[in-house]
Structure 1
Amino acid sequence: MTTTPSPDAPPSTSMTDEEYGALRASAALWAGTSVLITDERGRVLIQRVDYRTTCLLPGGAVDANESPAQGAARELREELGVTMAVDRGLAVDWVSADSLNAPADMRFPGEILHVYDGGTWNDAQIAAIQVPDREITSVEFVEPARLPDLMSPGGARRALSALRARINSAGPTLLEDGVPIAPTVLDRAGALRTARARHHLPFHTGLAPEHLQVVQAWGWLLGPDGRALVLLEPDTGAACLPGGTPEPQDRDNPLDTLHREVLEESAAEFGEPLFLGHLSDPDKPYARLRYAAPLTRLGPPPVDPATGRTHIRVLATPEQALELFDWGPPAVDQLAAVHQARAGLGIPRAARQSVTELPDATNLTTL
């Protein structure tokens, strides 16, 4: 009879093939797959189903002799009527046996669940979705912060972790019950767990008309590698650019506002800025100014006098930064202005890379 060494046994011990197979089968887990899809505003596609009260990402069980990627592509065909390649992984989640409160009769042994990137869908792709007659009752795109209210706790944690991994661009993240075993700064800050501020305001490259009151001056402060300084709220994970609102000591000078706010919020200083443009508000006579400038100095993280909190300072590509905001279609025009200014400042275009937390003392020349 053929014998096989047991991986857990002493070298002198051996098992029959039948015994070894039974041992491995006793430790077997289910295999599942899901696909993370967003729209052009960064909202996540979820499905309402007729067999449970919580929503799901597209996906399901992996069939016999089927790879997880093949299973993901099959589920997209069956559930959304969409044929597409699924070839980029975002997360692999070890789902423990006791995490789902599954019925005892199900004998749920735990699961390895693969999350794949379904990409960003435009209006035409969304219009092409065909929901089947049964099982899937509807699909919708929702703000990431709503996932915990709509999905199971583990499902929401997994979806948010996968979304952060996609933004972070560091490759697939390994999860245990939806929680990264090696959390990034976006995970530690809880980015996207609170609703992103929604500012779908038109962007204009020209100067703001004199009849508009300047209520904000924000800056795209670019490091030597082309990445921008972004601030994360320590208690909510909400993201913003450095800058703020005018105060009397600024003497109606928006650049004085920007210098003061940037120093107060992030202990940052910047070189000669370029004016990008302004955002107008159809309902109010306000203008929000945008600048781009080279980041020249970064001191120890300060306590913001306006909030009493210390922001988490990170560097992100402009494209990654926009994924942390909900600025709508006008963000495309603002991004183009940022890159035009970046080129004018002689700063290279940043390669897609991990979002980096800035330490207490930073030598900008090493970025």
Structure 2
Amino acid sequence: MTTRPEPGTAEWDHLAEGNAKQARKRVSADVLFRDEAGRILLVKPTYKEAWDLPGGMAEANESPQDAAERELREELGLAVRPGRLLCVDWVPPHGPWDDQLAFIFDGGTLDRYQSADLRPRDHELSECAFLTPEDALLRLPPRTRRRAAQALHVLAGRRPGYLEDGEPGR
């Protein structure tokens, strides 16, 4: 059994210094939902031009799965726990952003009652819609499109994957 270091000890101080200096990654957590017809749920954020998968950014010390669950509840009123991991993507620095880890979880199939009740529940979304997988991928920006396409491959039988900028890692 391992013991935890006590505050004020040399071990605690060493670990705290390492924690303060080590890189911190931004983390996003999205969910891939389907309706009974096999269409994919997309959302239209108010703060950017492109459509996106439902989900969002993790807060400090929040797990990716918890972040996705919170975002779904806040933005769509969906009280669901995201399922299995479909992929994780390391996204390189771009624009003003540092790198990040982007997770996509399986949301499963929403029944017709859940699908009919979906609507944006806060100011961050203006629309949500179910689209065929082909149409959904076309509405996503390239980086998100590559990641979502890999997640769809996992749903079709491929093992969950590690990606780098939407492509299978080395």
Instruction: Note whether the superposition's TM-score is higher than 0.5.
Output: yes
- Conserved? CA contact 2:52–2:140, under 8 Å: yes
Larger radius of gyration: 1
1:2 paired with 2:18, answer: no
Residue matched to 2:150 = 161
For the 8 Å contact 2:119–2:127, the answer to whether it is kept is no
In 2, Cα distance between equivalents of 1:120 and 1:152: 24
Residue 128 (structure 1) aligned to one of 111, 117, 121: 117
* 1:32 matched to 2:28: yes
Segments of structure 2 that go 5 or more residues without pairing to the other structure are 1-8
Give yes or no for the alignment of 1:94 onto 2:84: no
Note the C-alpha offset of 1:56.
0.7
- Map residues 215-364 of structure 1 onto 2, 5 A cutoff: none
Q: Is the 8 A contact 1:33 1:59 kept in 2?
A: yes
Contact map agreement 1:28 1:109 (CA 8 A) in 2? no
User: Which structure's relative contact order is higher, taking Cα pairs within 8 Å and 6+ residues apart?
Assistant: 2
Match status 1:75 vs 2:71 = yes
For 1:187, the equivalent position in structure 2 comes to none
> Counterpart in 1 of 2:52?
56
Which residue is equivalent to 2:39? 43
Q: Partner residue of 2:18?
A: 20
Q: What is the rounded CA distance, in whole Å, between the counterparts of 1:77 and 1:16 in structure 2?
A: 39
Preserved contact between residue 150 and residue 166 of structure 2 (Cα < 8 Å): yes
CA contact under 8 A between 2:56 and 2:71: conserved in structure 1? yes
* Separation in 2, partners of 1:37, 1:69: 14
Q: Secondary structure at the match of 1:168?
A: coil
Letter in 2 for 1:165: V
Aligned residues: 162
Residue 23 (structure 1) shift: 3.3
1:137 lines up with 2:126 in the alignment: yes
Deviation digits for residues 188-210 of structure 1 (CA, Å, limit 9, x no counterpart):
xxxxxxxxxxxxxxxxxxxxxxx
Identity %: 36
TM-score norm. by structure 2 comes to 0.85
CA distance in 2, matches of 1:20, 1:43: 46
Output the TM-score relative to the length of structure 1.
Answer: 0.41
Q: Which string of whole-angstrom CA distances, capped at 9 and with x for unpartnered residues, describes residues 107-138 of structure 1? A: x2211111110111222110122321412111
Q: Which residue of 2 aligns with 1:65?
A: 61
Q: CA RMSD in A?
A: 2.2
What is the match of residue 117 of structure 1? 106
1:41 Cα deviation after fit: 2.5
Give the partner amino acid of 1:174.
Y
Decide which of 154, 161, 164 is 1:173's aligned counterpart: 161
